[in-house]
């Protein structure tokens, strides 16, 4: 398969429409097998998934180390994140933070100028690479930080953003943005930064289209891009019971069941529709599912290669399962240029 590519904002950076989410390589919610993780990444790169996203938080450095080893000597586009600085010493219960088998470090939030610069340099060291293309500010927002968010946003406005812009102006990175799970944080960031791209996880999917009239429209107006993380809403759209990294409530389970039944009527696997739907929107540059094994990668490649009939999207809208004004793909977005 030759994947289509899309441009990131107003930059000269183009990425494949299917990328590789690196959180599972860090052992998200379950320890990762390093050998299988490395083979999965290598196979993905061979198949054209040359945009890879990672973060210091993923396994407290484990994902970045695996990603760097896998990318070295290859052609790639790489994003990582700032906002947490890793300090030596493992926390008492890293599993409660989502990482049952991390490296012996612990993350400390730091959105300041120095924190961003330290995080960037440390990521280069962990990766063993001399280039990072995109830097995202990780998990800024009230959902993550609660009352502490105001101080973190202040630090970002008065220092961290300046660091990101200096790195971009100096050519050390090509694009900057936020990497978050909440629309509101992105909307607020539009007031204090000139961003290129937002990595939005789980909020614009086959299951939920809340940002359609807000963030998605704003990005189109500003010629910004969205990288869509969590296209399966952390598992519920690919046969799991997890939504937003926790047990899915009954209302979500019922909607997913209805989505699945509608897809089945058109002989389309639910995960295939989940992967292809977001790229119907012109602001979405790439979809990056988290991939842990070669089996998950093979399934993903099967789903993105499927041609989905237009009648399915119409049926989903007719049943009230998809927003009426949601743009949908007119052909396979991974293999056909729109």
Place of tokens 């970002």: 156
Which contacts (CB < 8 Å, 24+ apart) does range 250-253 have?
Answer: 252/207
Q: Is 177 exposed, middle or buried (0-12, 13-18, 19+ CB in 10 A)?
A: buried
d(CA 174, CA 121): 16
* Count of Cβ atoms closer than 10 Å to residue 68 Cβ: 20
Q: Which residues are catalytic?
A: 53, 58, 81
């Amino acid at each position: 398969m030759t994947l289509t590519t899309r441009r990131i904002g107003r930059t000269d950076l183009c990425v494949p429409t299917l990328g590789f989410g690196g959180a599972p390589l860090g052992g998200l919610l379950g320890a990762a097998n390093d050998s299988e993780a490395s083979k999965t990444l290598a196979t993905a790169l061979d198949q054209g998934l040359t945009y890879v996203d990672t973060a210091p938080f993923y396994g407290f450095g484990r994902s970045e180390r695996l990603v760097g080893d896998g990318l070295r000597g290859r052609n790639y586009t790489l994003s990582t994140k700032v906002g947490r600085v890793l300090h030596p010493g493992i926390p008492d219960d890293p599993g409660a933070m989502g990482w049952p088998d991390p490296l012996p470090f612990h993350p400390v939030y730091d959105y300041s100028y120095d924190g961003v610069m330290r995080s960037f340099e440390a990521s280069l060291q962990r990766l063993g690479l001399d280039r990072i293309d995109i830097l995202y500010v990780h998990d800024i927002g009230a959902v993550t930080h609660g009352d502490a968010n105001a101080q973190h946003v202040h630090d970002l406005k008065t220092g961290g953003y300046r660091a990101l812009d200096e790195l971009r102006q100096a050519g050390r990175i090509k694009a900057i943005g936020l990497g978050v799970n909440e629309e509101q944080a992105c909307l607020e960031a539009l007031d204090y930064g000139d961003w290129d791209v937002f990595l939005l996880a789980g909020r614009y999917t086959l299951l939920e289209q809340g940002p359609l009239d807000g963030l998605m429209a704003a990005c189109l107006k500003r010629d910004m891009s969205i990288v869509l993380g969590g296209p399966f809403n952390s598992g519920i759209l690919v046969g799991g019971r997890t939504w937003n990294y926790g047990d899915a409530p009954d209302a979500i389970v019922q909607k997913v069941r209805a989505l699945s039944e509608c897809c089945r009527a058109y002989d389309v696997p639910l995960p295939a529709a989940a992967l292809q739907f977001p790229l119907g929107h012109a602001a979405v540059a790439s979809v990056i599912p988290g991939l842990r094994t070669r089996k998950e990668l093979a399934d993903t490649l099967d789903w993105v290669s499927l041609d989905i009939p237009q009648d399915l999207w119409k049926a989903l809208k007719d049943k009230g399962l998809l927003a009426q004004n949601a743009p949908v793909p007119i052909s396979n977005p991974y293999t056909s240029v729109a």
